[in-house]
Amino acid sequence: MKRRILSMILAGMMLLLPACAGDVSDLMEVDLPQEDDHAYYEEAETETESEEPEEEEEEEEDQAEAMEEDTEDDMEADAEELSDEELCALAGEYYFKINGKEAPIVEIDSADSDIVMIHLYAEQGDHTETMDWYEVDRTTGDATDIMGDVFNLFDEVSAGNDTVTKSTSKRPEGKKISFVTTDIDGNKITSDEIFSKHKVTMVNVWATWCYWCLYELPELKEINERLEEKDCAIVGLLGDGTDDDVIEEAKDILEENGIEYLNILPWDGATETDFNMDEGWPTSFFVDQNGVMVAEPVVGAETDAYEEVIDDILDSM
Protein backbone atom coordinates (compact mmCIF):
# COMPACT_ATOMS: atom_id res chain seq x y z
CA MET A 1 0.00 0.00 0.00
CA LYS A 2 2.73 2.43 0.98
CA ARG A 3 4.58 1.69 -2.24
CA ARG A 4 1.45 2.44 -4.29
CA ILE A 5 0.91 5.74 -2.54
CA LEU A 6 4.56 6.69 -3.04
CA SER A 7 4.37 5.75 -6.71
CA MET A 8 1.29 7.92 -7.19
CA ILE A 9 3.04 10.91 -5.54
CA LEU A 10 6.12 10.50 -7.72
CA ALA A 11 3.97 10.20 -10.83
CA GLY A 12 2.17 13.48 -9.97
CA MET A 13 5.42 15.25 -9.43
CA MET A 14 6.68 14.06 -12.80
CA LEU A 15 3.57 15.51 -14.47
CA LEU A 16 4.13 18.92 -12.83
CA LEU A 17 7.83 19.32 -13.71
CA PRO A 18 7.45 19.96 -17.52
CA ALA A 19 4.90 22.71 -16.94
CA CYS A 20 7.05 24.47 -14.39
CA ALA A 21 10.08 24.18 -16.64
CA GLY A 22 8.18 25.79 -19.51
CA ASP A 23 6.97 28.70 -17.40
CA VAL A 24 10.44 29.44 -16.07
CA SER A 25 11.91 29.38 -19.58
CA ASP A 26 9.29 31.81 -20.86
CA LEU A 27 9.93 34.18 -17.97
CA MET A 28 13.66 34.08 -18.61
CA GLU A 29 13.18 34.87 -22.32
CA VAL A 30 11.05 37.91 -21.51
CA ASP A 31 12.87 39.47 -18.57
CA LEU A 32 16.55 38.84 -19.21
CA PRO A 33 18.32 41.41 -21.45
CA GLN A 34 20.12 40.12 -24.54
CA GLU A 35 23.70 41.02 -25.48
CA ASP A 36 22.58 42.61 -28.80
CA ASP A 37 20.13 44.89 -26.97
CA HIS A 38 22.90 46.21 -24.73
CA ALA A 39 25.10 46.99 -27.78
CA TYR A 40 22.25 48.90 -29.49
CA TYR A 41 21.51 51.12 -26.50
CA GLU A 42 25.17 51.82 -25.85
CA GLU A 43 25.71 52.83 -29.53
CA ALA A 44 22.65 55.09 -29.55
CA GLU A 45 23.74 56.77 -26.35
CA THR A 46 27.24 57.39 -27.76
CA GLU A 47 25.86 58.99 -30.96
CA THR A 48 23.62 61.33 -28.98
CA GLU A 49 26.49 62.45 -26.78
CA SER A 50 28.76 63.07 -29.80
CA GLU A 51 26.16 65.09 -31.76
CA GLU A 52 25.43 67.62 -29.03
CA PRO A 53 28.98 69.10 -28.83
CA GLU A 54 29.18 69.34 -32.64
CA GLU A 55 25.95 71.37 -32.77
CA GLU A 56 27.22 73.66 -30.02
CA GLU A 57 30.52 74.17 -31.86
CA GLU A 58 28.68 75.05 -35.07
CA GLU A 59 26.53 77.61 -33.24
CA GLU A 60 29.62 79.17 -31.65
CA GLU A 61 31.34 79.38 -35.06
CA ASP A 62 28.26 81.03 -36.61
CA GLN A 63 28.13 83.58 -33.80
CA ALA A 64 31.85 84.33 -34.17
CA GLU A 65 31.46 84.85 -37.93
CA ALA A 66 28.47 87.13 -37.41
CA MET A 67 30.40 89.22 -34.88
CA GLU A 68 33.36 89.45 -37.25
CA GLU A 69 31.10 90.62 -40.09
CA ASP A 70 29.49 93.24 -37.85
CA THR A 71 32.93 94.47 -36.81
CA GLU A 72 34.04 94.74 -40.45
CA ASP A 73 30.86 96.63 -41.34
CA ASP A 74 31.44 99.03 -38.44
CA MET A 75 35.05 99.58 -39.54
CA GLU A 76 33.98 100.27 -43.12
CA ALA A 77 31.35 102.72 -41.90
CA ASP A 78 33.90 104.51 -39.69
CA ALA A 79 36.33 104.69 -42.61
CA GLU A 80 33.71 106.33 -44.83
CA GLU A 81 32.59 108.92 -42.30
CA LEU A 82 33.52 112.50 -43.17
CA SER A 83 34.58 115.08 -40.61
CA ASP A 84 32.46 118.13 -39.79
CA GLU A 85 34.80 120.31 -41.85
CA GLU A 86 34.55 118.04 -44.92
CA LEU A 87 30.76 117.86 -44.67
CA CYS A 88 30.45 121.62 -44.36
CA ALA A 89 32.73 122.11 -47.36
CA LEU A 90 30.57 119.79 -49.48
CA ALA A 91 27.41 121.51 -48.27
CA GLY A 92 28.84 124.91 -49.17
CA GLU A 93 29.75 123.73 -52.67
CA TYR A 94 26.31 122.19 -53.15
CA TYR A 95 24.62 125.44 -52.09
CA PHE A 96 26.78 127.38 -54.54
CA LYS A 97 25.97 124.94 -57.35
CA ILE A 98 22.20 125.26 -56.78
CA ASN A 99 21.98 128.97 -56.00
CA GLY A 100 24.91 130.51 -57.87
CA LYS A 101 26.18 132.33 -54.79
CA GLU A 102 28.27 131.48 -51.75
CA ALA A 103 26.86 130.84 -48.28
CA PRO A 104 29.07 132.96 -45.99
CA ILE A 105 28.79 130.63 -42.97
CA VAL A 106 28.37 126.86 -43.09
CA GLU A 107 28.55 124.85 -39.87
CA ILE A 108 27.17 121.82 -38.03
CA ASP A 109 24.01 122.89 -36.22
CA SER A 110 23.34 119.59 -34.42
CA ALA A 111 24.33 115.92 -34.63
CA ASP A 112 22.49 112.73 -33.69
CA SER A 113 24.68 109.70 -34.37
CA ASP A 114 25.43 109.67 -38.13
CA ILE A 115 22.69 112.21 -38.91
CA VAL A 116 23.87 115.85 -38.79
CA MET A 117 22.09 119.13 -39.41
CA ILE A 118 24.15 121.63 -41.41
CA HIS A 119 23.20 125.29 -41.16
CA LEU A 120 24.01 127.73 -43.98
CA TYR A 121 23.53 131.36 -43.02
CA ALA A 122 24.85 134.92 -42.96
CA GLU A 123 25.10 137.37 -40.09
CA GLN A 124 23.12 140.53 -40.81
CA GLY A 125 23.89 143.06 -38.11
CA ASP A 126 22.23 141.88 -34.92
CA HIS A 127 20.37 138.95 -36.52
CA THR A 128 21.06 135.83 -38.57
CA GLU A 129 19.73 135.26 -42.07
CA THR A 130 19.24 131.53 -42.77
CA MET A 131 20.02 130.45 -46.32
CA ASP A 132 19.34 126.73 -45.94
CA TRP A 133 19.50 123.72 -43.63
CA TYR A 134 20.62 120.28 -44.77
CA GLU A 135 19.97 117.11 -42.80
CA VAL A 136 22.75 114.77 -43.93
CA ASP A 137 23.72 111.16 -43.24
CA ARG A 138 27.44 111.41 -42.55
CA THR A 139 28.26 108.03 -44.11
CA THR A 140 25.97 107.88 -47.16
CA GLY A 141 25.64 111.56 -48.08
CA ASP A 142 21.85 111.22 -48.31
CA ALA A 143 20.40 114.63 -47.51
CA THR A 144 17.19 116.66 -47.28
CA ASP A 145 16.99 120.46 -47.23
CA ILE A 146 14.37 122.56 -45.43
CA MET A 147 12.29 122.78 -48.60
CA GLY A 148 12.00 119.00 -48.68
CA ASP A 149 14.30 118.38 -51.66
CA VAL A 150 16.06 115.01 -51.38
CA PHE A 151 19.54 114.50 -52.86
CA ASN A 152 22.87 112.77 -52.29
CA LEU A 153 25.40 115.38 -51.25
CA PHE A 154 28.42 113.35 -52.36
CA ASP A 155 27.06 112.63 -55.84
CA GLU A 156 25.69 116.11 -56.48
CA VAL A 157 28.94 117.89 -55.62
CA SER A 158 31.06 115.41 -57.58
CA ALA A 159 28.82 115.80 -60.61
CA GLY A 160 29.14 119.55 -60.35
CA ASN A 161 32.89 119.31 -61.00
CA ASP A 162 32.73 117.09 -64.07
CA THR A 163 32.31 119.91 -66.60
CA VAL A 164 35.41 121.78 -67.77
CA THR A 165 35.09 125.34 -68.98
CA LYS A 166 38.17 126.29 -70.99
CA SER A 167 39.30 128.31 -73.95
CA THR A 168 38.06 127.29 -77.40
CA SER A 169 39.99 130.02 -79.23
CA LYS A 170 43.71 130.62 -79.47
CA ARG A 171 43.93 134.07 -77.99
CA PRO A 172 40.70 135.59 -76.66
CA GLU A 173 40.98 139.21 -75.67
CA GLY A 174 40.78 139.70 -71.91
CA LYS A 175 40.94 142.34 -69.29
CA LYS A 176 44.13 143.51 -67.61
CA ILE A 177 44.56 142.51 -63.99
CA SER A 178 46.28 145.00 -61.69
CA PHE A 179 46.52 144.91 -57.90
CA VAL A 180 48.65 145.41 -54.84
CA THR A 181 48.49 142.82 -52.04
CA THR A 182 50.65 140.68 -49.74
CA ASP A 183 51.77 137.11 -49.94
CA ILE A 184 50.62 134.60 -47.33
CA ASP A 185 53.60 135.57 -45.13
CA GLY A 186 52.65 139.25 -45.16
CA ASN A 187 55.19 140.52 -47.71
CA LYS A 188 53.93 143.27 -50.04
CA ILE A 189 53.73 142.30 -53.71
CA THR A 190 52.22 143.72 -56.91
CA SER A 191 50.61 142.12 -59.92
CA ASP A 192 53.43 143.36 -62.18
CA GLU A 193 56.01 141.58 -60.02
CA ILE A 194 54.02 138.34 -60.17
CA PHE A 195 53.07 138.18 -63.85
CA SER A 196 56.22 139.64 -65.46
CA LYS A 197 58.33 136.67 -64.32
CA HIS A 198 56.65 134.07 -66.53
CA LYS A 199 55.14 133.70 -70.01
CA VAL A 200 51.89 132.44 -68.50
CA THR A 201 50.73 132.43 -64.88
CA MET A 202 47.84 130.29 -63.74
CA VAL A 203 46.06 131.96 -60.81
CA ASN A 204 44.35 129.22 -58.81
CA VAL A 205 41.70 130.75 -56.55
CA TRP A 206 41.01 128.45 -53.59
CA ALA A 207 39.66 128.49 -50.03
CA THR A 208 40.30 126.53 -46.85
CA TRP A 209 36.62 125.48 -46.66
CA CYS A 210 36.58 124.16 -50.26
CA TYR A 211 36.92 120.36 -50.34
CA TRP A 212 37.84 120.18 -54.03
CA CYS A 213 40.36 122.99 -53.66
CA LEU A 214 42.24 120.98 -51.07
CA TYR A 215 41.78 117.75 -53.02
CA GLU A 216 43.77 119.02 -56.02
CA LEU A 217 46.68 120.59 -54.11
CA PRO A 218 49.06 117.59 -54.36
CA GLU A 219 48.60 117.50 -58.15
CA LEU A 220 49.03 121.26 -58.44
CA LYS A 221 52.45 120.85 -56.85
CA GLU A 222 53.47 118.38 -59.58
CA ILE A 223 51.95 120.48 -62.37
CA ASN A 224 53.84 123.56 -61.20
CA GLU A 225 57.13 121.65 -61.33
CA ARG A 226 56.44 120.72 -64.97
CA LEU A 227 55.36 124.27 -65.84
CA GLU A 228 58.69 125.68 -64.65
CA GLU A 229 60.34 124.00 -67.65
CA LYS A 230 57.99 125.99 -69.93
CA ASP A 231 58.67 129.30 -68.14
CA CYS A 232 55.17 129.22 -66.65
CA ALA A 233 53.95 129.03 -63.05
CA ILE A 234 51.02 128.61 -60.68
CA VAL A 235 50.10 131.27 -58.15
CA GLY A 236 47.55 130.55 -55.45
CA LEU A 237 45.03 133.17 -54.38
CA LEU A 238 43.58 132.36 -50.94
CA GLY A 239 40.05 133.63 -51.44
CA ASP A 240 39.01 133.36 -47.78
CA GLY A 241 42.30 134.67 -46.38
CA THR A 242 40.85 137.71 -44.66
CA ASP A 243 41.69 136.93 -41.02
CA ASP A 244 44.69 135.58 -39.14
CA ASP A 245 43.12 132.24 -38.12
CA VAL A 246 42.27 131.32 -41.72
CA ILE A 247 45.72 132.38 -42.92
CA GLU A 248 47.42 130.19 -40.30
CA GLU A 249 45.19 127.28 -41.28
CA ALA A 250 46.09 127.83 -44.94
CA LYS A 251 49.80 127.82 -44.11
CA ASP A 252 49.41 124.46 -42.40
CA ILE A 253 47.51 123.07 -45.39
CA LEU A 254 50.16 124.25 -47.84
CA GLU A 255 52.96 122.84 -45.72
CA GLU A 256 51.23 119.47 -45.37
CA ASN A 257 50.92 119.24 -49.16
CA GLY A 258 54.46 120.43 -49.89
CA ILE A 259 53.25 123.55 -51.73
CA GLU A 260 56.08 126.04 -52.23
CA TYR A 261 54.75 128.16 -55.08
CA LEU A 262 53.59 131.71 -54.32
CA ASN A 263 50.27 132.16 -52.52
CA ILE A 264 48.76 135.62 -52.15
CA LEU A 265 45.94 137.16 -50.11
CA PRO A 266 42.80 138.84 -51.53
CA TRP A 267 42.40 142.58 -52.04
CA ASP A 268 39.22 144.60 -52.50
CA GLY A 269 37.35 143.09 -55.43
CA ALA A 270 39.74 140.14 -55.80
CA THR A 271 37.07 137.43 -56.05
CA GLU A 272 34.14 139.64 -57.05
CA THR A 273 35.59 141.76 -59.88
CA ASP A 274 39.13 140.84 -60.92
CA PHE A 275 38.82 137.05 -60.59
CA ASN A 276 35.08 136.51 -60.62
CA MET A 277 34.18 133.38 -58.64
CA ASP A 278 30.50 133.19 -59.56
CA GLU A 279 30.98 129.86 -61.39
CA GLY A 280 32.37 127.90 -58.44
CA TRP A 281 35.40 126.98 -56.33
CA PRO A 282 38.17 126.40 -57.25
CA THR A 283 38.54 128.40 -60.47
CA SER A 284 41.83 128.89 -62.33
CA PHE A 285 42.61 131.96 -64.49
CA PHE A 286 45.38 132.33 -67.08
CA VAL A 287 47.34 135.58 -67.33
CA ASP A 288 50.25 136.59 -69.60
CA GLN A 289 53.37 138.63 -68.76
CA ASN A 290 51.43 141.88 -69.22
CA GLY A 291 48.75 140.91 -66.70
CA VAL A 292 46.12 140.22 -69.39
CA MET A 293 43.80 137.21 -69.23
CA VAL A 294 44.51 135.07 -72.28
CA ALA A 295 42.02 132.21 -71.95
CA GLU A 296 38.68 131.36 -70.49
CA PRO A 297 38.96 130.15 -66.87
CA VAL A 298 38.77 126.49 -65.88
CA VAL A 299 36.06 125.91 -63.28
CA GLY A 300 36.44 123.08 -60.78
CA ALA A 301 39.30 120.80 -59.78
CA GLU A 302 40.12 119.82 -63.37
CA THR A 303 43.83 119.06 -63.14
CA ASP A 304 43.91 117.38 -66.57
CA ALA A 305 42.83 120.60 -68.27
CA TYR A 306 45.34 123.12 -66.87
CA GLU A 307 48.38 122.16 -68.94
CA GLU A 308 46.26 121.77 -72.08
CA VAL A 309 45.08 125.37 -71.77
CA ILE A 310 48.61 126.65 -71.10
CA ASP A 311 50.01 124.72 -74.08
CA ASP A 312 47.32 126.27 -76.31
CA ILE A 313 48.33 129.74 -75.09
CA LEU A 314 52.03 129.08 -75.66
CA ASP A 315 51.32 127.78 -79.17
CA SER A 316 49.51 131.00 -80.02
CA MET A 317 52.32 133.30 -78.85
> What pLDDT is stored for residue 211 in this prediction?
83
The residue type of 283 is: T
Picking from 207, 206, 205, 211, the residue whose alpha carbon sits closest to that of residue 85 is 211
Helix (H, G, I), strand (E, B) or coil at 62: helix
- Name the pLDDT band for 94 (thresholds 50, 70, 90): confident
- Beta-carbon count within 10 A of 294 CB: 24
- The neighbouring-strand residues paired with 150 are 144
Return the CA Rg of the chain.
Answer: 44
Give the separation between CA 291 and CA 3, rounded to whole angstroms.
Answer: 160
- Name the pLDDT band for 11 (thresholds 50, 70, 90): low
CA 129, 135, 138: angle at the middle one, nearest 5? 130
Is the pTM higher than 0.85? The answer reads: no
Cα 102 versus chain centre, distance: 24
Average pLDDT value for the chain: 79
122-138 tens-digit pLDDT: 886 667 778 888 999 88
Task: Give DSSP secondary structure letters for 211-254.
Answer: HHHHHTHHHHHHHHHHHHTTTEEEEEEETT--SHHHHHHHHHHH
246-302 tens-digit pLDDT: 999 999 999 999 999 999 999 999 998 899 888 788 999 999 999 999 999 998 888
99-125 tens-digit pLDDT: 767 788 999 988 888 889 999 988 866
Contact 271, 240 (CB under 8 A): no
Give the separation between CA 142 and CA 127, rounded to whole angstroms.
Answer: 30
Give the separation between CA 259 and CA 72, rounded to whole angstroms.
Answer: 36
- The neighbouring-strand residues paired with 189 are 181
Picking from 186, 191, 190, the residue whose alpha carbon sits closest to that of residue 247 is 186
> What pLDDT is stored for residue 161 in this prediction?
46
52-63 tens-digit pLDDT: 556 666 676 766
- The neighbouring-strand residues paired with 119 are 107, 133
With residue 35 as reference, give the H or E element that holds it: helix 35-80
- The arithmetic mean of pLDDT across residues 63-80, rounded, is 52
Helix (H, G, I), strand (E, B) or coil at 103: coil
Cis peptide before 282 (omega within 30 of 0): yes
- Name the pLDDT band for 85 (thresholds 50, 70, 90): confident
Residue 255's region, left for phi above 0, alpha for psi from -120 to 50, else beta, is alpha
CA 215, 270, 122: angle at the middle one, nearest 5? 75
Measured over the CA atoms of residue 171, residue 314, residue 270 and residue 179, the dihedral's sign is: negative
Give the separation between CA 116 and CA 114, rounded to whole angstroms.
Answer: 6
> What pLDDT is stored for residue 151 in this prediction?
86
Which stretch, 17-21, 121-125, 196-200, has highest mean pLDDT? 196-200
Burial 36-65 (b: 16+ CB within 10 A, else e): eeeeeeeeeeeeeeeeeeeeeeeeeeeeee
Helix (H, G, I), strand (E, B) or coil at 286: strand
Residue 300's region, left for phi above 0, alpha for psi from -120 to 50, else beta, is left
Picking from 291, 293, 57, 113, the residue whose alpha carbon sits closest to that of residue 190 is 291
Contact 217, 238 (CB under 8 A): no
Give the separation between CA 284 and CA 227, rounded to whole angstroms.
Answer: 15
166-180 tens-digit pLDDT: 433 334 457 899 999
